[in-house]
């Protein structure tokens, strides 16, 4: 079931229930899409303004990228459910089943794939928002700052859905490779989002 076709209220209601999905990954994807859209809104308020004619072509191009990114992030809500359910099912396999460990291992790697992709998409969003914050309409720069911190939260949330699964992997080489990739994104892009927020905040004399 694609929860993005439901109302916001329904999404939150199901999220709060004992249903296996949506969970942290799906919530991170939705939040990332919202953060991206906030940056994109700055672009929408910039295009067509004489004051920003010099950057209009760049902003239009960036808006198209954000349009695609929003769709891709929303698609991850359902993808996270699809890729998590095999792991949820695997937990029900009897512990004395000789195939349990192999099935669990494969399902865990699959379950990591979507939140890892969500992290990558959030990093792209933060890169785009940095440009909107720098070159977009000053009347909407606060929204770029909001978008940055929201995408940072989505990035961090998605990472926890990676780490909870890599912790249980038997293949530690694969686990540490994924952990290193996730931590690399966190280190670079949390700092970048903070920089955007602090720059926007400083512009208000705060």
Residue 20 banded pLDDT, cuts 50, 70, 90? confident
Asked if residue 56 belongs to a domain, the reply is yes
pLDDT tens-digit profile of 99-119? 999 999 999 999 999 999 999
Joined tokens for residue 117:
């992709």
pLDDT score at 116: 98
Overall average pLDDT of the 153-160 stretch: 98
Asked if residue 137 belongs to a domain, the reply is yes
CATH code for the domain in which residue 172 is found:
1.20.120.680
Asked if residue 64 belongs to a domain, the reply is yes
pLDDT tens-digit profile of 132-150? 999 999 999 999 999 999 9
Distance CA 14, CA 3 (A): 9
Burial of 145 (0-12, 13-18, 19+ CB in 10 A): buried
pLDDT tens-digit profile of 30-56? 999 999 999 999 999 999 999 999 999
pLDDT at 163 over 80: yes
pLDDT score at 196: 98
pLDDT score at 2: 86
Looking at the structure of the chain, the number of domains it has is: 1
Integer-rounded Cα Rg, in Å, for the chain is 19
Residue 21 banded pLDDT, cuts 50, 70, 90? confident
Mean predicted lDDT score pLDDT of the chain: 97
Distance CA 128, CA 126 (A): 5
Asked if residue 4 belongs to a domain, the reply is no
Asked if residue 171 belongs to a domain, the reply is yes
pLDDT tens-digit profile of 52-92? 999 999 999 999 999 999 999 999 999 999 999 999 999 99
5 in Cβ contact with 81 (< 8 Å): no
Q: 119 is in which domain, residue-wise?
A: 21-202
Asked if residue 12 belongs to a domain, the reply is no
Asked if residue 5 belongs to a domain, the reply is no
pLDDT at 1 over 80: no
> What percent of the chain is predicted at pLDDT more than 90?
97
Asked if residue 13 belongs to a domain, the reply is no
């Amino acid at each position: 079931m694609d929860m993005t076709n439901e109302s916001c209220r329904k999404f939150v209601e199901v999220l709060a229930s004992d249903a296996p999905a949506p969970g942290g990954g799906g919530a991170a994807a939705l939040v990332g899409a919202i953060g991206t859209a906030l940056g994109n809104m700055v672009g929408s308020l910039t295009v067509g303004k004489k004051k920003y004619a010099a950057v209009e072509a760049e902003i239009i191009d960036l808006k198209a990228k954000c349009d695609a990114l929003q769709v891709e992030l929303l698609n991850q809500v359902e993808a996270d459910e699809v890729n998590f359910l095999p792991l949820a099912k695997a937990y029900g396999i009897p512990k004395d089943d000789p195939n349990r460990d192999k099935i669990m291992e494969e399902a865990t790697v699959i379950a990591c794939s979507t939140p890892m992709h969500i992290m990558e998409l959030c990093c792209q969003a933060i890169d785009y928002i940095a440009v909107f914050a720098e070159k977009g309409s000053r009347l909407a720069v606060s929204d770029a700052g909001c978008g940055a911190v929201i995408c940072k939260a989505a990035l961090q949330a998605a990472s926890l859905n990676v780490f909870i699964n890599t912790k249980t992997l038997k293949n530690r080489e694969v686990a540490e490779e994924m952990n290193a990739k996730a931590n690399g994104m966190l280190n670079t892009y949390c700092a970048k989002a903070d920089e955007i927020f602090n720059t926007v905040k400083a512009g208000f004399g705060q």
